[in-house]
Amino acid sequence: MDQVKRRRVGSSAGVRHAIAPPAPDRSAPCPIDGNPRVGALLGQADAAFARSLRRSSIPKGKDVVIGGSRGDCVYVNHDGWLARYKTLHKGTRQILDFILPGQVFGLPACVFQCAPYSVVTVTRATLSAVPFGLVDTMFDQEPALAKALFWSTIYDAAILGEHLVDAGRRSAYERVSHLLLELLVRLNRTRPTTKMTFSMPLTQELVADALGLTTVHVNRTFRKLRDDGLIEVDGRSVRIISFEALSLLSDFEQTYLNDVRP
């Protein structure tokens, strides 16, 4: 807890913005990509076009995008969790990001000659596949979907940039704290609640691969966060006891998760 006390003394104006998670707009439709603007844009899409999308249920542990292969679809995740990852030649894995309900993914696999990373389902997920051949049509005839894809790409870039700061400058204690706060805020933007409890279907191995740590280190860090009275963990359920303290000690500043400017 000494780290928390030091942060309180030297906290900046930027960090103070992270004291409380954003209150969701209960009157808005369920947002896509954790971003109300993207959800609103998708809601404007032509119904006939939406019906042409291929929707399917994908089991847990299935690669939807395979690194090194060419993709032909962009996907919308309606429910479930997925992980964007890359495996090195020596067999180690780095998870770049967790794809939460509502996110759009798969565009790089269609744009580049081969996919720069893979995407695997962490839980069962329901996805809609948008054939890449329809992207030009989207920009010509479905500006709402085109804008949604554009904002989604910007949103992903902001999240990946923050994860680079995690890997380069934050301690293990700070990385785990920052991840928990990020997941809480992202999930609260897609559900009508401001509760501090959320379900996290991630193993310690997945968390370790996302944060560049060992599973032993992740286990010790979760235990220390519990002992410090900052979180409670009960199976898959995680409760943030002090959003303010975790924000201050991990420099969590949530503007990169907020809605984009008009």
Q: Is 52 exposed, middle or buried (0-12, 13-18, 19+ CB in 10 A)?
A: exposed
Q: Are 249 and 3 in contact (CB under 8 A)?
A: yes
Strands (E) located in 29-102 = 54-58, 63-65, 73-79, 82-87, 93-99
H or E element that contains 253: none
Per-residue pLDDT of the chain (262 residues; tens, 9 = 90+): 444 444 433 333 333 334 444 444 333 333 344 444 454 555 555 565 666 677 899 999 999 999 999 998 989 898 899 999 999 999 999 999 999 988 889 999 999 999 999 999 999 999 988 888 877 777 777 777 777 778 888 888 999 999 999 998 999 999 999 999 999 999 987 765 568 999 999 999 999 999 999 999 999 999 999 999 999 999 999 999 999 999 999 999 988 887 655 4
**Residues near 154 by beta carbon (within 8 Å), at least 6 away in sequence:** 260
Torsion sign (Cα): 198, 254, 206, 97: positive
Q: Are 124 and 85 in contact (CB under 8 A)?
A: no
Residue 238, strand partner residues: 198, 233
pLDDT of residue 52: 61
Q: Are 95 and 85 in contact (CB under 8 A)?
A: yes
pLDDT of residue 190: 72
Q: Are 189 and 36 in contact (CB under 8 A)?
A: yes
Structure tokens that stand for 37 in this block: 């603007």
pLDDT of residue 43: 53
For the whole model, what pTM was predicted? Answer: 0.81
**Residues near 122 by beta carbon (within 8 Å), at least 6 away in sequence:** 60, 80, 81, 82, 83, 98, 201, 202, 206
Helix (H/G/I), strand (E/B), else coil: 78: strand
Instruction: Give backbone dihedrals phi and psi of 24, rounded to 5 degrees, phi first.
Output: -70, 155
pLDDT of residue 42: 54
Q: Which domains does the chain have, with CATH numbers?
A: 2-257 (2.60.120.10)
| Residues written for the chain | 262
pLDDT of residue 78: 87
pLDDT of residue 189: 79
What gap in Å lies between CA 63 and CA 72, rounded to an integer? 14
What gap in Å lies between CA 229 and CA 136, rounded to an integer? 52
Q: Are 176 and 249 in contact (CB under 8 A)?
A: no
